[in-house]
Chain A
Amino acid sequence: MSDRITLADLRQILVESAGEDDLLLGDIEHTPFAELGYDSLALIETAALIKQRFGVQIADDAIAGLATPAEVLDLVNGTLVEAG
């Protein structure tokens, strides 16, 4: 288990969660999930894969509040730092 999640890790997880898409190729860090075409189901799958790979549990009610990939990275890395 890695000690922090990178944007590249997250991009890979996003692809696995909801498929390859040109929208994911650009600079996505601050792009809202809605613009990337991520609905609530895709974000739940994203959270599940993060839990499986990085051991970080994102609370159910927090998932819907995550607006951009940057917010996911902050939340997960913040938790990993605390745990470390």
Chain B
Amino acid sequence: MTTTLTATEPTVVTGIGVLAPNGVSAEDYWRATLAGRTGIGRLTGFDVSEYPVRLAGQVDLDPAGRLPGRLLPQTDRVTRLALVAAEDALADAGVDPAALPEYGMGVVTSNASGGFGFTHTEIQKLWTRGPQFVSVYESFAWFYAVNTGQISIRHGMRGPSGVVVAEQAGGLDAIGHARRNLARGARLMVTGGVESSFDPWGWVSHIASGRLTTDDDPATAYRPFDPTASGYVAGEGGAILVLENESSARERDARVYGEIAGYAATFDPRPGSGRPPGLGRAARLALEQAEVSPADVQVVFADAAGTPELDRQEAEALVSLFGPYGVPVTAPKALTGRLYSGGPPLDVAAALLSIRDGVVPPTPSAAGEDYRLDLVTGSARRLPVRTALVLARGRGGFNAAAVVREFPSTQRS
């Protein structure tokens, strides 16, 4: 039995808001990504010299300047970034939320680490000064639902909303759940993920994954699908997208970037089962749902974990689905670091821009010949892109896949 969604009409993307380490708008990010410009550098904000990992992908923006003062005492950096990305996505979509039915618009985001820096400040006050010094805003500034809540309040969106967590894969699950809400009656969803947790306690928590590279060269530290890969670089930021039913986009005469044509999530077999991981299965299910065959896919945006074993597993899944060197594969996240819930929505944004511009961005840090993949290394590759597959994995065994497809313009010309 295949996965079906009771979709009555296509789900289209009409707005993109990006805050990435290598660009603080969608177009900025896209230019940097096509040029192979990295956003990875030495972590600033505190002295990292005593820590075994020193590189991070940081967003070069103080979001405070883009927000009303009233929001600042109650928000962590992660929420400020999410609010700016959401505002940009809505502006890009040309949406005036006040002009649309409030219960028809919802917000679904993913978030893996909450407002961690905010909590670090407050928990230190608690233990050094006492409970009465803890901010009233701690009660919601740090939890995983904060970005969804604040976006919904700021834009008056009262429809079906939610928050999912599945480490990095959660970023696609949010898009999948937003699409489910559209199929069930909403007309517009703000979705995606934004992450930021680079205070010292957050930093040590990232390091504890055991999967971060200790390399110090920003250009090569995170080199997925390279035989010498040594781990990933953690990043902050992400992307917020505006998803709509086709009829909603048409009614607004909106510009459409493309369609979310398929989505599926799977989980790996228990450790030690000896059976293959579930990433390939997620990809197959998403393609089935989109009713496209692997031959119809022009590019894969890979999860690209950056450790040899995980890269090999992903490559095997791709080879089994597309054949050896069967499809161009790229991982622009090598230029931003892994953004956890922010990563997959950013990849979906990149896939949509690839479709728009007929060009696939490169993975400059990778060599890749050991994995029988047609990895787009060196520089961007011109090719018409009609359908892209976006893959994501989360630590613990989470897999998700989305099919992003070109969509005939709904705009009246």
Contacts and interface: CB of A to CB of B under 8 A. Distances in A.
A–B proximity contact (CB within 8 A): yes
Interface of A: 15-21, 37, 41-42, 44-45, 48, 51-52
Interface centre among B68, B73, B132 (most CB of A within 10 A): B73
Given A18-B73, A19-B72, A52-B132, 4 more contacts: A15-B69, A19-B73, A21-B70, A48-B133
Contacts of A18: 70, 73-74
Nearest to B67: A19
Contacts of B72: 19-20
Interface in B66-93: 68-74
B383 interface: no
Interface residues of B, number: 12
A33 B209 CA distance: 47
B70 A48 contact: no
Given A18-B70, A19-B69, A41 B136 contact: yes
B137 interface: yes
Contacts of A37: 70
Shortest 9 CB-CB contacts between residues of A and residues of B = A20-B69, A19-B69, A19-B70, A45-B136, A19-B72, A19-B73, A44-B136, A21-B69, A41-B136
Nearest to A38: B70
Interface of B: 68-74, 132-133, 135-137
B69 A48 contact: no
Contacts of B74: 18-19
Contact of A19 (B71, B132, B133, B135): B71
28 contacts: A16-B73, A17-B73, A18-B70, A18-B73, A19-B68, A19-B69, A19-B70, A19-B71, A19-B72, A19-B74, A20-B69, A20-B70, A21-B68, A21-B69, A21-B70, A37-B70, A41-B136, A41-B137, A42-B136, A44-B136, A45-B73, A45-B135, A45-B137, A48-B132, A48-B133, A48-B136, A51-B132, A52-B133
Interface centre among A19, A20, A45 (most CB of B within 10 A): A19
A18 B69 CA distance: 8
Contacts of A51: 132
A17 B69 CA distance: 11
Contacts of A42: 136
Nearest to A47: B136
B119 to A, nearest CB: 17
Nearest to A16: B73
Contacts of B132: 48, 51-52
A15 to B, nearest CB: 8
B189 to A, nearest CB: 28
A49 to B, nearest CB: 10
Contacts of A19: 68-74
A20 B70 CA distance: 6
Nearest to B136: A45
Contacts of B133: 48, 52
Contacts of B70: 18-21, 37
A15 B381 CA distance: 52
A22 to B, nearest CB: 9
A37 B74 CA distance: 14
B118 to A, nearest CB: 14
Contacts of B135: 45
Nearest to A43: B136
